[in-house]
Amino acid sequence: MINEIQRFMQEKNELIKKQGINKKFQEATRLWTEESIKSKYSYNFLWMGLPIIQFPQDILAMQEVIWHVQPDLIIETGIAHGGSLIFYASMLELLGNNGQALGIDIDIREHNRAEIEKHPMFKRITMIEGSSVDEKIARQVCDFARNKKQILVVLDSMHTHEHVLKELELYSTLVTKGSYLVVFDTIIEDMPENFFPDRAWGKGNNPKSAVYEFLKTHDEFEIHKDIKNKLLITVAPDGYLKRKD
């Protein structure tokens, strides 16, 4: 007999499927997303006191992913102000294991480093300064990941096709079966032509184009479409990649 929790979950899954084919809803989301990027909406939010620079919907999705995977290591490329690194550390704290959050950034600015290092969640954080696509840095990351049982990887640094594709090749092997490789800012591909005139990325040259290229030769990963259909508002459409069990 189906209990009430199972019934609720079935209903939720059906609603997500319907959202995935609701063209009117998707168009409204597209228009909202364009305006939100223009107004830097994602800059409005803090996690435990530090700027996280993410849509709240993606923060909630990452919480679900982390709870499902139960990682003992979360690797993030791109630290910026450190809010997302603090978020990952705080989730690991809630899991109650000995999990660590490892952040890599080519330039960890002193004021950001100071705020991260004085934060109570810093006890679970390690930072490496250097380019995430430098093979020496990648070897450091691999050494740090040795003996970890469940590893989740998040890519959120330079958003050009070449850079993200290199990150995918370097760090995808660290992702454990059943875990996720999350690529942020795939939304760039879905924005109008020349939407980012002062940036090195744009249509055809962005995280989503790198994801599609990567998946041509890496069938051990698949796009978790339900996450996009659930959120609709996300900076990472087709960016939540699950490693098959």
Overall domain count for the chain: 1
To the nearest whole percent, how much of the chain has pLDDT over 70? 99
153-172: pLDDT as tens digits: 999 999 999 999 999 999 99
User: What value does the mean pLDDT take over residues 183-212?
Assistant: 96
Q: Name the 3-class secondary structure at 179.
A: coil
For residue 191, the enclosing domain spans 4-243
Place of tokens 């809803």: 25
Among residues 37, 57, 58, 117, which one has the least CA distance to residue 82? Answer: 117
User: What value does the mean pLDDT take over residues 222-232?
Assistant: 96
Is pTM beyond 0.85 here? yes
CATH number of the domain enclosing 188:
3.40.50.150
On the question of pLDDT at 1 being above 70, the answer is: no
On the question of pLDDT at 104 being above 80, the answer is: yes
User: What value does the mean pLDDT take over residues 7-18?
Assistant: 94
In 3-state terms the chain splits into helix, strand, coil percentages (rounded to 5) of: 50, 15, 35
32-82: pLDDT as tens digits: 999 999 999 999 999 999 999 999 999 999 999 999 999 999 999 999 999
Q: Are 125 and 101 in contact (CB under 8 A)?
A: yes
